[in-house]
Amino acid sequence: MNGINESLCLYRDKEFSLLKVLLGDSILPKSIFIYGNSATGKTLVTKKVIQSSGLQYSSVSCTECFNSKLIYQKILSDAGHSSEKSCSTMMDFCRYLAQCTFALLGQPFCIILDKAERLRKMDCNLLPSFLRLGELTKLDISVLFISELIYEKFVTSSGFYEPIKIHFKNYAKDQLKDIMTYDCPDDFSTDFYKGYVTAIVDVFFHITNNLTELRHLATVNFSKYCEPIVEGEIDKNDYRRLWAKIMPHLKKALQTVYLREVSSVQWETMQEKSNYDKTIKAQVELPYYSKHLLLAAFFASYNPANSDRRFFAKRCVGKMSSRAKRSVKSIKNSDKKFLGPKPFQLDRLMAIFYSIAGEAVSPSANILSQISTLVTLKLLVKCSSDDQIDVPKYKCIVPLELAIAVGKQVEVDVLQYLYDT
CATH class of residue range 288-313+338-416: mainly alpha
Q: How many whole angstroms separate alpha carbon 280 and alpha carbon 145?
A: 50
Please state which of the four CATH numbers 1.10.3720.10, 3.40.50.150, 3.40.50.300, 3.90.230.10 is assigned to the domain occupying 13-167: 3.40.50.300
Confidence bin at 6 (pLDDT 50/70/90): very low
Neighbour count for residue 13 (Cβ, 10 Å): 10
Q: How many whole angstroms separate alpha carbon 319 and alpha carbon 248?
A: 60
CB half-sphere exposure, 62, CA atoms < 13 A: 22
pLDDT at residue 348 is higher than 70: yes
- Over the stretch 100-127, which tens digit does the pLDDT of each residue have? 989 989 999 999 999 999 999 999 889 9
Q: Which of 72-81, 253-262, 274-283, 402-411 has the lowest mean pLDDT?
A: 274-283
With b for 16 or more beta-carbon neighbours within 10 A and e for fewer, the 61-95 pattern comes to bbeebeebbebbbbbbebbebeeeeebeebeebbe
What are the CA-CA distances from residue 228 to residues 102, 117, 120, 241, 421 (Å)?
59, 46, 51, 10, 46
- 10 Å CB burial of residue 109 (0-12, 13-18, 19+) is buried
- 10 Å CB burial of residue 105 (0-12, 13-18, 19+) is exposed
- The secondary element (H helix, E strand) that includes residue 146 is strand 141-147
pLDDT at residue 279 is higher than 50: no
pLDDT at 367 (0 to 100): 77
3 state SS of 130? helix
Confidence bin at 400 (pLDDT 50/70/90): confident
Higher-pLDDT residue of 161, 18: 18
Going by C-alpha positions, the residue among 355, 347, 331 that lies closest to residue 416 is: 355
pLDDT at residue 31 is higher than 80: yes
- For the chain, what percent of residues have pLDDT higher than 90? 40
Average pLDDT on 245-259 reads 77
Top-confidence range, 6-20, 306-320, 383-397? 6-20
Higher-pLDDT residue of 16, 304: 16
Average pLDDT on 341-345 reads 88
Q: How many whole angstroms separate alpha carbon 370 and alpha carbon 365?
A: 9
Going by C-alpha positions, the residue among 145, 90, 142 that lies closest to residue 113 is: 145
pLDDT at 262 (0 to 100): 52
Average pLDDT on 83-109 reads 89
Q: How many whole angstroms separate alpha carbon 354 and alpha carbon 362?
A: 9
Confidence bin at 337 (pLDDT 50/70/90): very low
pLDDT at residue 80 is higher than 60: yes
With b for 16 or more beta-carbon neighbours within 10 A and e for fewer, the 204-237 pattern comes to beeeebbbebbbebbebbbebbbbbbeeeebeee
Amino acid at 186: D
With b for 16 or more beta-carbon neighbours within 10 A and e for fewer, the 319-352 pattern comes to eeeeeeeebbeebeeeeeeeeebbebbbebbbeb
Higher-pLDDT residue of 202, 283: 202
Higher-pLDDT residue of 387, 246: 246
pLDDT at residue 274 is higher than 80: no
pLDDT at residue 129 is higher than 70: yes
pLDDT at 65 (0 to 100): 94
- Over the stretch 134-156, which tens digit does the pLDDT of each residue have? 999 999 999 999 999 999 998 87
3 state SS of 60? strand
Cβ-based neighbours of 357, under 8 Å, separated by 6 or more:
289, 292
User: Where does the chain hold its CATH 1.10.10 domain(s)?
Assistant: 288-313+338-416
Higher-pLDDT residue of 36, 274: 36
User: Where does the chain hold its CATH 3.40.50.300 domain(s)?
Assistant: 13-167
Confidence bin at 171 (pLDDT 50/70/90): very high
Strands 141-147 and 109-114: parallel
Average pLDDT on 380-399 reads 78
Confidence bin at 316 (pLDDT 50/70/90): very low
- Average model confidence (pLDDT) across the chain: 83
pLDDT at residue 272 is higher than 70: no
